[in-house]
Structure 1
Amino acid sequence: MKTRIGILGLGGVGGYFGGLLAKAYSQSDAIEIVFIARGKTQEIVAKSGLKLITDTDETYVFPTVVSNDPEVIGKLDYLICATKTYDIEESLLSYKKCITKNTIFLPLYNGVDAPERISAIFPDNEVLQGCVYIVALIESPGVIKKVGPFEKLFFGSHSASVTKMKTLQTIFENAGIQSTLVDQIEETVWEKFIFISSLASATSYLNQNIGEIIGSNTSRAVFVNLLQEITMLAAVKGLELPNDITMKTIQKLEKMPHEATSSMHRDVISGHKFELESLTAFVVNEGLKYEVDMPTYQKVLDALALKMPSE
């Protein structure tokens, strides 16, 4: 029996890591990679493959299956989820037929509430926690561009089968994916969330890329204020994060390509729906729950809420 891995969401994250998997296992008799895609992306990838562009090369990869039809997709052993956070429930319910009681979910979303939301739909399934560090985006349908050297994937669980997680880790390693199976995964996910939430909120609110934020004392202060507020929230929640996390996060920002920005900022610029609920509002709501003051987050939320396109 083949191990069947579904990739739901062919954006920067799903497209890049899914592409590495499809490239590695295109001729495999043991592992089958299934791209779950629709519309123009499905049409282009099915016909011409998925194009991956990095700083050094370009390559086309071909999954075993690319479809949005649950009958064609079939039953999945693992489902790597990388859609936008506002699509979690709708996208997963569309493919309920592909999920068995043994299917393991690996969410690679920008927020931290995805495992809880997935478990609400599939209470009998194992839902791992995961996060990635990568700057990658859709250049056009079926074309994923990765910028800079960041390319790390972390995942884990306190309850899932260690054997199945190690199997997945081996699958990643053999595909050349820089992945780490982490014991204290909640802290790892929150460490990433502190970075991505403050970055997405700052870039979108200021309408600036990373270089512009670093280069302006006023803009940098907004980012640092967001960072301090969300770090305080994590501490009050009881998460054991590094004492120097604020400084580490600022250093992480400075090492990133200065022309890069957050995916939320790109969506705001293009007038698309954006992940305000998961990346900014979630932090404000958690602040209310834990009685942590969030003045900068609240200011950013109020301003960005006015930019959200109507349904």
Structure 2
Amino acid sequence: MNVLIIGAGAMGSLFAGRLKAQGANVFLYNRRNSHVDKINQSGLTIVERDNQETMVPLTVVHEVSGASYDLVLVMLKTHATKNVLTQLKDSFSVNTLFVTMQNGLGNLETISAIFPNNPVVAGTMGCGASVESAGRILHRGWGKNWIGHSKDAAAQKKIGGFIEALNCSGLETELAEDVQTIIWNKLFVNVAFNSLTAVTRLRNGDILHTNEGQQLLERVVTEALQVAKAEGVSVDAQQTIAKCIKMGNEEIATNKSSMLMDILHKRKTEIDAINGAVSKLGKYHGIPTPYNEMITGIIRVIEANYDLQVD
């Protein structure tokens, strides 16, 4: 199976590197930057849990026309999805399966609108990674990944093969019976940590060192839980908040969130697909979301004024 991963950030690089190390026929697609250039020159270095390093020869391509891919894994930042995929809309056959494992809400709908004749499924990641330097990533989250079903029999067969390949590569992945609930559960974690760490410039676990930090986490997640319920998603509020806090204290404590990294590098964030999506859906359902609305506004102010920041 020929696999193309669109987006060579930390997570796209991790999935491509792990799959390639197991002999999969996988390529990364991304615009040129220092990280991409380093991978093409010297391979990708993955630093694992025990700080053991693996170097994987990997190719990052800048064009996809003329190649045949069975499966395309979309790992772009959500705000880049429409622009990047629209440019590639004539590059794939109608048999190509698209899988999105991006953060936030709305990714499945965006991809389906661009490729209306292709099978598209959503999934979510429980693992985590960050780019330490060009060509070098830190694997710092080891949760389970999930991918949803497809009604297309051929696409479903590809999903099964892809899940098997991911498991063989060490990235634990399962087929999800109810992928939307799992996506919302991942959103709760992103709502809890991405924006708060971006504002405070702290690692995930560090925002829980004070009562105020824990209270902020509980309030943004509580609002998201209320919106999820209005969307028909059944979740236990107390268990969800407790799980977020446990993850922040244990599994992802030392990780720098993707939104924090975007802020530190003065890039556009995924706030609109995470806390902003909660606020937007809250308005649709008539549910007040003052904490998510405020923190979305703060992140947008930061994004709009990178050049004016005081050192």
Indicate whether the TM-score tops 0.5: yes
Deviates more, 1:203-212 or 1:104-113: 203-212
Structure 1 residue 291 corresponds to structure 2 residue 286: yes
Q: In the aligned structure 2, how far is the partner of 1:58 from the partner of 1:273?
A: 30
Shift of 1:257: 4.3
How far is 1:151 from its partner? Answer: 4.1
Kept in 2: contact 1:75–1:97 (CA 8 A): no
| Counterpart in the other structure of 2:60 | 66
Counterparts of 1:56-95 in structure 2 under 5 Å?
56=50, 57-63=52-58, 65-71=59-65, 74-95=67-88
Aligned to 2:129: 136
Distance in 1 separating the partners of 2:225 and 2:209: 23
1:158 deviation in Å? 5.2
- Matched residue of 1:146: which SS? strand
- For the residue of structure 2 that corresponds to 1:248, the secondary structure is helix
Structure 2: tracts of 5 or more residues without a match: 307-311
CA distance in 2, matches of 1:191, 1:201: 16
Instruction: Please show how residues 37-116 of structure 1 align to structure 2 within 5 Å.
Output: 37-39=30-32, 40-56=34-50, 57-63=52-58, 65-71=59-65, 74-116=67-109
Task: Tell me the distance in 2 between the aligned counterparts of 1:171 and 1:134.
Answer: 16
- Residue 111 of structure 1 and its aligned partner are, at CA, apart by 1.1
Distance of 2:216 and 2:236 partners within structure 1: 22
- Which structure 2 residues correspond to residues 123-272 of structure 1 after superposition, within 5 A? 123-147=116-140, 149-157=141-149, 159-161=151-153, 162-242=156-236, 244-272=239-267
CA shift, 1:121, in A, is 0.4
Q: TM-score, normalised by structure 2?
A: 0.90
- The answer for unaligned runs of 5 or more in structure 1 is 26-30
> Residue 309 of structure 2 aligns with which residue?
none
Higher strand share: 1
1:4 is the counterpart of 2:28: no
Q: What fraction of aligned residue pairs are identical, expressed as a percent?
A: 22
Measured at CA, do residues 176 and 304 of structure 1 come closer, stay the same or move farther in structure 2, by a change above 3 Å?
A: closer
Deviation string, structure 1 residues 5-24 (Cα, Å, up to 9, x no partner): 00111212111111100111
Alignment root-mean-square deviation, CA: 1.9
Runs of 4+ with deviation above 3 angstroms:
none
SS of equivalent to 2:49: coil
Partner Cα distance (1:218, 1:209) in 2: 16
The structural deviation recorded for 1:110 is: 1.0
How many residue pairs were aligned?
A: 301
Matches within 5 A, 1:115-126: 115-126=108-119
Change over 3 Å in CA distance of 1:212–1:249 after alignment to 2: closer
Compared CA separation, residues 66 and 300, structure 1 to 2 (3 A): closer
**Of residues 12, 15, 20 in structure 1, which corresponds to 2:13?**
15
Please identify, of 95-104 and 34-43, the stretch whose mean Cα deviation from structure 2 is larger.
34-43
Distance in structure 2 (CA, Å) of the matches to 1:6 and 1:66: 10
What's the secondary structure of 2:45's corresponding residue? strand
> Which position in structure 2 is the counterpart of 1:28?
none
Classify 1:155/1:295 alpha carbon distance in 2 versus 1 (closer, same or farther; 3 Å). same
